[in-house]
Every structure is written in structure tokens, then in C-alpha cells.
Chains A and B, each alone.
Chain A
């Protein structure tokens, strides 16, 4: 396989966007082309989860190519649940690594706020097992709540730990101009004050309002190129050095131990193995914190911390922006937002931003190796990416 590099990146604000879905995909794509200086796109992959259902928009890739005047480039849409973004990056990687293409645009976009939260929650719940879960009313918040309860019992995680993740990531988001939530929160305000229970009520006990990511619109894009193209342009050399993907049982209750996220574990191992690196080599990571518990659990499963000790590392400040291994400097899904189909590409955008040293106030010092974990389903389809700055 040929080496693959990220030559350009672009992103919209993750927020409520009052534009058609195809425009939400096209705008960051233009920014990525502008960033790289490359316009001779040969292939386009568009990640999206809800277009047909939520926005009455099918064939999104065709619409995006036309919007960008990129015809006759090849185009295909990728739907892989909340891991759609990284799945599209994987396809883009394969297209370049195989030698089939030299310049591939991967964009992710979602417009979820066209519907209300109730419908958005139901739309996301359609990723659960249709017969074993969905028909019984399972939603992602309820899944995450059951998972959290087990995690608390097995490993001693408390609501305070969850609140610490909320506060960390939402305050990181304050430093990110593209983030959905620009409201600082405090432990006092969401956990300790007499008003905390009203400010931060349970949505699915033990998860509270501020333990869940917002429903966001947004788009993000990366341009993947061959080594030859990467070295022909004046951009930092960011190599997509490792990709790992793994699956697990669709129905969560079929897992031997539901608190073991085996697909996360395997995807991370594959990604690090391909890159020839270890978890300890990572300088900055973006983990899929759709719910606060997931950041803690994933930080263990990908190998950053021993199983059951993610919350202890959090307590010590190791995952803070100025800690040993900053996690979710962008604000994560919790603070930056979670436009599901765009999320994986958004994570890659942040890591490339960090490795280039362009992240401004949230820049992680001397970051050379970055890592993302894009968690599809409830951990049943996971993709981990490892990025390395080479120059």
C-alpha cells in the first residue's frame, strides 16, 4: 500500500445550521480544497447518517459533487451510523493507498436540527437492534445509562467523575470557535449547588443533562493524497498512519461483559499496529464522548490507561488540556457537538489541526502523534485512526 497524507482540512461550526444538507457538506469541502490548494479531486466520499430520513435527501454525494463543480469526479455516500465519518476516511485511504486515486475528498455532514430532539433521538435509536432493542424503546441515552450503571458498580466511577468530563470538555469547547456549546459550566453549577438538580436533571439515571452531547448540525472535510502529491504542496506532512476497524454484537446484552468495549479495543490495536506505534506514543486524542462515560471507558479500551482506571487519570488531570495526554481538546462530542455523520471527520480535523500546531489557545504543545476513536452503534462498529506529523 502507498502512504496516505492529509493535505487539507475544513470545517463548519457545529451548531444549528440553517442551510441545506448538501451545502453543509460542500462548505467545509471548499475550505479543505482552499487549505490544500488542490482542486483536481478525483474521488469524493460523503459521510452522512440521516439525510434520507431526516432531510429527505438521498444521493448526497452526487449533490455535493455538483455543488462543488467537481464533476466528473467519482462520488459515493457512506452511511455507517455515527462512525460514518471515519468509515468514509477509511474508504478514502484505501482509494489512495491502492494507487487508484491520488487526491480524494472526504467530507461528512449532518443536519439533525431540522427535526426536534424527540425525533432526533428516535432517528439515532434506529441504529440499535431492531428486534432485540429498538422495539422495546431503547434509545442511546438509555443504553448509555445502563452501561454507566454497570461501570459505576464495577469500577467505582461516580457522578462526580462524569461531571468532571462534562466540565473539562465543555470548557475546552470555549476555546474552539467551531464548537456548538460556548457556555462554561462548573461542578458547583451542575452537581453541588442547591439548584444543580434543576440545572442538570437526570435524563436517564445516572446520566444527567450535561452528560449527553448536544444535537448538532455540521460538516467537516479532509483531503487525502498520495505522498507525491503531499510533498508537492506547501502544507505540513500529516500522515494517516494507522486505521483500525472492528465490530461487536449488535445487541449489547449479547456481550459477555457489556462494560468491555471489545470493538474499541481491537480497532485501537489494529490502528496502532498499522502505524507501528503504542498508545503511550500518543500526544493528543479525540475520543467519542457522546456520553461522558464513553470518554472514560474508551480511554481505557484504547490503551491509554488500565481498565477501570480512566476516571482516576481524569481525577489527576492527566486528560486535561495541560495534562499528560489531553483528550478532546476540541471539546469532544460533548462540547464541540455531534452531527453524527460528520463526527469522525470532525475528529480528524481537530487532530490534523493540532499536529499542524494551528489550534490556537487549545493547542497541545509539541503534538506529533494524534489519535481518534469514532464509536458507531453502541460500540458495535468502531474505527480508530492514528495520525503522525512527519516533518
Chain B
């Protein structure tokens, strides 16, 4: 009796409503398109993510390594119910975000990587990912973790995420934080931007090909010095403490 092992190894994806592309104007005046990519475009992205594995700054190495493995597994059908969104400026890759659907009501945010720093590119991409979970997939809650202090400030503090520490996150089994619908609605006016439909010309340029980043993050000149500043314990702790006080007072 023959066994088709691939049928056993390959997870069965559940149907997920596709993400409708959108665009936004950056502070630079450039238009950034954020769109969903299919498995066949993943190899293009992988070649731009791989160099970041060697950037020991702001946890780019950890995040890039994990993202690489996640989207590679997605492209080879070894990751269930994952989606990948890419942000492009003039076709050039600016950010990649991914996540997955755990249940029809629960999302799991995976990673956000800005391949061009500044201009809130990473923040815009993350907000778009949350919009996909909440408004398109209809999730009530998205579980989130941050690997870097920058991520912690952008997600946990800016969105004032709730603790779900009894639920291990798929990334490293660490305690989860949660974006609820209520929190998302509260952040919607200030953090979630973008317009639809994307003008045909913009969308066509983005779809024509994912171009390499012209100014990607680079390794630090002095690894020891970068390590000292990387942990950033005091500031994040202070901000976290202050925010907790606000929550308690409310």
C-alpha cells in the first residue's frame, strides 16, 4: 500500500479572505503600497531578508531569522494558515509583515521587519496587519509579542495591549499580549492609516516585481557598543511602569 506522505506533512489551510491592497503617503511624500503576496513571490522576499540575519542591531538578526524560516515554510507549505504582506515604495521592498489565523476569531501576529528604517514604515505595516486581522478576517483578538525594545514601544505601549500572560505565544513560547477589538478601535484614528483602492498604476508597479531595498539596515560598527545600548532596560521599563500606572488609575 502506497502512502502519499506529502498529504500528511502538508497542513490544510483554512479559507481566509484575501487582504485588499492599500496605499498611504509617507512623510517623504512617497506612496507606499501594502499588499498580500502569494507563495510564488516569497523567494524574492527571502533574498532581501537573509542579509538581516547578520545585523546584530535592534534584534534584526533574531527577527529576520525567524521571519525567514516562517515565510520559507509558508512557501513550501509547511506553515498553516499564514499570510504575508509586503510594503513597497516604487516597487522597492520597505517592510514585510506576517501572521496567521489560529481560529476564526483568534489571530497570531508573527513578525514585522522594516527593510527601510524611519518614516513609520514598520509602524504602518504593523497597523495594516492588525487591520487585516480585525476588519478583514474578523478576529476578536490578536496575540502579539515583541522581540525588541522598539517593537515593545510600538506595539505594547502605543496600542496599550492587554496582558494574556497565561497564553504562550507561538514565538518562543513567551507570554502573549493581546490586541482586542476595543483597543484596535481606540487606536484606529491615530495609528491605522491608508486608502483604497490603490491606483492602478501604483498597484501595477508593486506587482511588477519586488525590488531590493536601497538602504537596508546594516551591522553596527562596534558590536560591543551596540550590545550595550541594545537592551535599553531603563527607558522601556519606565515607559511600561508609567503606562501600568495609567491603567491602574483608570
Query: Which residues from chain A sit less than 8 Å from chain B, CB to CB?
Result: 16, 18-20, 113-119, 183-186, 188-190, 193-201, 210
Contacts and interface: CB of A to CB of B under 8 A. Distances in A.
B118 A183 contact: yes
A189 B27 CA distance: 4
Contacts of A196: 25, 27
Nearest to A198: B193
**Candidate in A18, A183, A197 with the most chain B CB atoms within 10 angstroms:** A18
Contacts of A185: 27-29
Contacts, number: 78
Given A18-B221, A116-B234, 19 more contacts: A113-B229, A116-B232, A183-B27, A183-B28, A183-B118, A184-B29, A185-B27, A186-B27, A186-B29, A188-B25, A188-B29, A189-B29, A193-B29, A194-B25, A194-B195, A197-B190, A198-B120, A198-B190, A198-B191
Residue in B29, B30, B190 with the greatest tally of chain A CB atoms within 10 Å: B29
Interface in B81-105: none
Interface in B18-67: 24-30
B119 interface: yes
Given A18-B229, A199-B119, A118 B27 contact: no
Contacts of A118: 235, 238-239
Contacts of B232: 116
A184 B190 contact: no
Interface in B208-250: 220-222, 225-226, 228-229, 232, 234-236, 238-239
A193 B25 contact: yes
A19 B222 contact: yes
B138 interface: no
Nearest to B238: A118
18 contacts: A18-B220, A18-B222, A19-B221, A20-B225, A116-B234, A183-B119, A184-B28, A185-B29, A188-B25, A189-B29, A189-B30, A194-B25, A194-B193, A195-B24, A197-B190, A198-B193, A199-B120, A210-B27
Interface in B176-192: 190-191
B175 interface: no
Contacts of A190: 27
Contacts of A183: 27-28, 118-119
B234 A189 contact: no
Q: Is the interface of A mostly helix, strand, loop or mixed?
A: loop
Centre residue among A16, A116, A183, A197 by max chain B CB count within 10 A = A116
A173 B159 CA distance: 33
Contact of B194 (A20, A195, A197): A195
B28 A186 contact: yes
Contacts of B120: 198-199
A115 B234 CA distance: 8
Nearest to B192: A198
A213 B29 CA distance: 20
A189 B238 contact: no
Contacts of B124: 195, 198
A188 B25 CA distance: 8
B235 A119 contact: yes
Contacts of A210: 27
Given A18-B222, A18-B229, A198-B190, A115 B235 contact: yes
Contacts of B193: 194-195, 198
Contacts of A198: 120, 124, 190-191, 193
B239 to A, nearest CB: 6
B119 A201 contact: no
Interface centre among B26, B149, B221 (most CB of A within 10 A): B26
A116 B191 CA distance: 22
Contact of B27 (A19, A114, A199): A199
Contact of B235 (A117, A189, A199): A117
A194 B27 CA distance: 11
Contact of A114 (B149, B195, B229): B229
Contacts of B119: 183, 199
B152 to A, nearest CB: 11
Interface in B108-140: 118-120, 124
B22 to A, nearest CB: 11
A189 B26 contact: yes
Contacts of B239: 118
Q: Which 8 A-B pairs have the closest CB atoms?
A: A116-B235, A186-B29, A18-B225, A193-B25, A18-B222, A189-B27, A195-B193, A199-B27
B236 A116 contact: yes
B161 to A, nearest CB: 18
Contacts of A116: 149, 232, 234-236
Nearest to A182: B215
Nearest to B149: A116
Of listed B27, B30, B195, B236, residue having the most chain A CB within 10 A: B27
B225 A199 contact: no
A193 B32 CA distance: 13
A177 B222 CA distance: 20
Contacts of A200: 27
A161 to B, nearest CB: 18
Contacts of B29: 184-186, 188-189, 193
B125 to A, nearest CB: 13
A176 B179 CA distance: 42
B90 to A, nearest CB: 13
A210 B190 CA distance: 16
B144 to A, nearest CB: 19
Contacts of A189: 25-30
A190 B195 CA distance: 16
